[in-house]
Structure 1
Amino acid sequence: MQVTCAQKTTIVSLEIVGQDKIKTSYLKKIITTKQGEVLDSVKLNQDITFLKRLPAVSHAYFNVTRLPNFKSHVKIGIEENFTLLPSLNFWTTTNKQFAYKLGLYEYNFLGNNTTFGGFYQNNGFHSYGFTYRAPNLFSKKWGLAISFKDWKSEEPLYFGEKTANYLYNNTSVELLGLYQLNLKHRIDFGISFFSEKYKYLSGETAEGVPLALDLDKKLLKLVYQYNGLDYYYQYVSGFKSVLYTQYVTTQNDFQNDFLIAWNDFFYYKRIGAKGNWANKLRLGIASNENSPFAPFALDNNVNIRGVGILVDRGTGVAVLNSEYRHTVYDKKWLAIQTNVFTDAGTWREPGGQLSDLFKQEKLRVFSGIGLRFISKKIYNATFRIDYGFKVYDTRNTTKGGLVFGLGQYF
């Protein structure tokens, strides 16, 4: 809804309806439209866009009632999401063992847009962690995030044509400051203290590669986000960009300090009444150490559906994911989408050249189809299943496979 008026009108009453668990006091604090101020249609529409991005809000709208003497009554309507969500993921590991991850998260903790929760994972080893994220803890613009993680996994490391499996253990504590410049711009910044341990399990290593490593590190992080997305239930339109930069310091003879940065670009377009075209482009670069512990991984749960689990690593990356989603069923609480997709990516070898990204033998292309079951009343409750099959990949014998998950792939 748009509001236009040549004569300035004053908001004499502001009403918010439809909210249940999310606090009215919190909503009135974070919106820019205030009782007693002049009615501004631009600010009011921006407030609605901001509210629709909150995990606790599935939809928002407003109505303006004109009153005598250039006065008005503004009503903002909220349709809430259910925000206490379990998470369940299951997969097979590199040694074909069944693995699962269980979690429970509240995305509207205390009714003020705070996320709090944790997970337990069993993939042959035990991992756990928790997260607390309060973007409006101190004010509308300032917030805080704290997380702890003790993560263990068996991971393949690549030494040319050789492969060895190591037990990887990452224990970390992270503290971030959160600053919202305005509706579209946000910055997260902070520090993480963590230890990394590697222990050889099986396979062929290379000369000079240790069978065990125990490293203490510090990570400085800066994330800048531009968000121009607009939501209408399961449909998304607009552009979003997220830049991640990290500087890792360590004191050991095997690894040097290194810098890593990547940018995710998202573009969504509504097509007709039921279609949605979605795109994600990731461009990343890191310090080019000739090491099997390269930071960018090739994995069908992360970037190319169907390629396999932890298939390769690199110090540079360019990945494009593109899919068309079409809603085939849409009722009050449930929507079902079909999708067709193409994922394509290329990696720079550790110690290699940037030209690696443009070599034909580095290119992987997988395409496929999928289904989405979307709850319109529960935040991020999208169950997805995709099957990706190989279109082009000269370095991998995998012909394709299923990928399950919660939430849209991107």
Structure 2
Amino acid sequence: MKYIKVIAFLLFITLSNAQENRVTQVIINGNKRTKTPFLKKLAFVKSGSILDTTRIASDVRRLKLLPSVANVEYSLENKEDGYHLTYTIVENFAIIPGFNIATDNNNELAYRFSVFDFNFLGRNQLIGGYYSRDVFNSYGAFWEAPNLFSRKFGIGANYQNIVSQEPVFFDNNQDVNYKFSTKAFQISLMYEPNFNNRFELGLNISNEDYKFLEGNLPQGTPSELGANKVAIVGEYEYNNINIFYQYLEGFRSLFTYRFVTGSTGQNDLLTNFFIGRNDFEYFKRIGAKGNWANRLRLAYASNDDTPFAPFAVDNQLNLRGVGNTIDRGTASIVLNTEYRHTLYEKGWFVLQSNAFLDAGTWRNPSGNLNELIDGSTLRVYPGLGIRFIHKRIFNAVFRIDYGIGIGDKATNGIVFGIGQYF
């Protein structure tokens, strides 16, 4: 009987300690539009979970990655029945209109209107579309629900009708302008095993057409090309970035690919191909107001002998100040590095300065990979910029950059945009 009492006492102590070290209630405050059940579904820590501050910190980081969330803090209260965990949300405004102005390939005005809701139905689904005028009219519509089926599984779909004037660069160094038209529908499955890793696999069905507009067309080159294509597309993202409003710290890798499994066309210039691109990003906090940001972009296409090369040298994509689609290539290495410094911050508003260096090399169509390292295609553009940031609106960063080219035939120019460059 004595031993039974000792065992019962030890069991009582063990159960009491276990109860004291458990989270018995999870509370979410501060969210207005974002649904509380949706946020609780994403969190690892549930009511009844063993208290683990590491897992709580993981939840904070995961919730900060949501477009609808600007910041998250947590608190713990030790109650008689266990710990009460409270996540306090600072919510973003997530219905974002967009309006971009640029110069098109005819040196005339190009513009793009868009509106996207990044917190559709209060569940961080994306829905929206755009209309653009860049010599010709284009439009597109998008819907993504990354957590539609469960915390890990979702789906996305989009349709785009893109018509543009595309400069094509042949061996005679003469620019030839084509009217490029593509109608494409894509559906994708999304899988997120944890907040660091995300996979996406999709099927893209498209029709592409090139029609000659103007220029010195090489002999034997067709004036019209067309193809119906079916492609496997996808992404893999590793994200270990900590976010605190305009400041980022950590590492991110984003691999995107497109493998065309079938196409029918009238010419060998539009053939089956593979495109792969990986962005490596690294961010480092410098003091209280500084942020060092870096992106290394590696890209490769297997259709290396076509003048219709997939990778453009362009202001908005890789080199600030270079101009609007001044060249194309079938492989590339691009490095963007910049130092961002907060000049003024009060309430929701941030004024941020920016000093950057953009550099890149390309493999020309029908060229070889040595062009990436021999310096023959190297372009270097240092520059300065400024950012106007709204801390309570998702991705509300209006940027102005001025890039200065180094070397022969280099250009200078101003680049406007919405969102950080990377």
The 5 A counterparts of 1:338-377 are: 338-377=353-392
Q: Is the 8 A contact 2:105 2:135 kept in 1?
A: no
Q: Is the 8 A contact 1:196 1:215 kept in 2?
A: yes
Q: 1:279 aligns with which of 294, 307, 316?
A: 294
Q: 1:212 aligns with which of 216, 221, 224?
A: 224
Structure 2 residues not aligned, in runs of 5+: 1-16
**In the alignment, does 2:83 pair up with 1:72?**
yes
How big is the shift at 1:82?
Answer: 0.3
Instruction: State the alpha-carbon separation in 2 of the partners of residues 236 and 225 from structure 1.
Output: 17
Aligned to 1:157: 168
Aligned to 2:30: 18
Q: 1:85 aligns with which of 77, 92, 96?
A: 96
Q: Is the 8 A contact 2:274 2:303 kept in 1?
A: no
How big is the shift at 1:216?
Answer: 0.8
The 5 A counterparts of 1:285-304 are: 285-304=300-319
How big is the shift at 1:42?
Answer: 1.2
1:391 partner SS: coil
Instruction: State the alpha-carbon separation in 2 of the partners of residues 87 and 98 from structure 1.
Output: 16
Identity of paired residues, percent?
42
How big is the shift at 1:382?
Answer: 0.3
Task: Name the larger-Rg structure.
Answer: 2
1:22 partner SS: coil
TM-score normalised to structure 1 length:
0.96
2:59 partner SS: helix
Higher alpha-carbon deviation: 211-220 or 234-243: 211-220
1:272-327 CA distance string (max 9 Å, x none): 00000000000111114321101111101100000011111111100000000000
How big is the shift at 1:207?
Answer: 2.1
Aligned to 2:404: 389
How big is the shift at 1:108?
Answer: 0.1
Instruction: State the alpha-carbon separation in 1 of the partners of residues 118 and 193 from structure 2.
Output: 22
Q: 1:250 aligns with which of 263, 282, 289?
A: 263
Q: Is the 8 A contact 1:87 1:104 kept in 2?
A: yes
Instruction: State the alpha-carbon separation in 2 of the partners of residues 357 and 390 from structure 1.
Output: 19
How big is the shift at 1:140?
Answer: 0.3
Q: 1:191 aligns with which of 196, 203, 209?
A: 203
AA aligned opposite 2:236: Y
AA aligned opposite 1:304: L
Aligned to 1:143: 154
Aligned to 1:134: 145
1:37 partner SS: coil
Q: Is the 8 A contact 2:271 2:303 kept in 1?
A: no
**In the alignment, does 2:104 pair up with 1:104?**
no
Aligned to 2:8: none
TM-score normalised to structure 2 length:
0.93
Q: Is the 8 A contact 1:288 1:352 kept in 2?
A: no
**In the alignment, does 2:421 pair up with 1:409?**
yes
**In the alignment, does 2:51 pair up with 1:51?**
no
1:19-49 CA distance string (max 9 Å, x none): 0000001111111111122111111100000
How big is the shift at 1:102?
Answer: 0.1
1:79-111 CA distance string (max 9 Å, x none): 000001101111111111101000010000000
Instruction: State the alpha-carbon separation in 2 of the partners of residues 340 and 168 from structure 1.
Output: 36
AA aligned opposite 1:111: G
Instruction: State the alpha-carbon separation in 2 of the partners of residues 66 and 202 from structure 1.
Output: 75
Aligned to 1:3: none
Q: Is the 8 A contact 1:308 1:398 kept in 2?
A: no
Aligned to 2:21: 9
Q: Is the 8 A contact 1:179 1:188 kept in 2?
A: yes
AA aligned opposite 1:84: I
Instruction: State the alpha-carbon separation in 2 of the partners of residues 352 and 123 from structure 1.
Output: 29
Q: Is the 8 A contact 1:19 1:78 kept in 2?
A: yes
How big is the shift at 1:68?
Answer: 3.5
Q: Is the 8 A contact 1:58 1:79 kept in 2?
A: yes
1:228 partner SS: strand
Higher alpha-carbon deviation: 169-178 or 209-218: 209-218
Q: 2:42 aligns with which of 19, 30, 33?
A: 30
Aligned to 1:168: 180
**In the alignment, does 2:251 pair up with 1:236?**
no
Change beyond 3 A, Cα 1:280–1:152: same
Q: Is the 8 A contact 1:372 1:385 kept in 2?
A: yes
1:35 partner SS: coil
Instruction: State the alpha-carbon separation in 2 of the partners of residues 201 and 238 from structure 1.
Output: 47
Instruction: State the alpha-carbon separation in 2 of the partners of residues 288 and 140 from structure 1.
Output: 38
How big is the shift at 1:183?
Answer: 1.5
Q: Is the 8 A contact 1:104 1:118 kept in 2?
A: yes
Structure 1 segments, 4+ long, off by >6 Å, are none
How big is the shift at 1:398?
Answer: 4.3
1:91 partner SS: strand
**In the alignment, does 2:341 pair up with 1:329?**
no
AA aligned opposite 1:310: T
Higher alpha-carbon deviation: 164-173 or 269-278: 164-173
2:46 partner SS: coil
2:60 partner SS: helix
Q: Is the 8 A contact 2:67 2:124 kept in 1?
A: yes
1:151-187 CA distance string (max 9 Å, x none): 1111110012111111111110000000001110110
2:190 partner SS: strand
1:136 partner SS: coil
Q: Is the 8 A contact 2:205 2:231 kept in 1?
A: yes
2:308 partner SS: coil
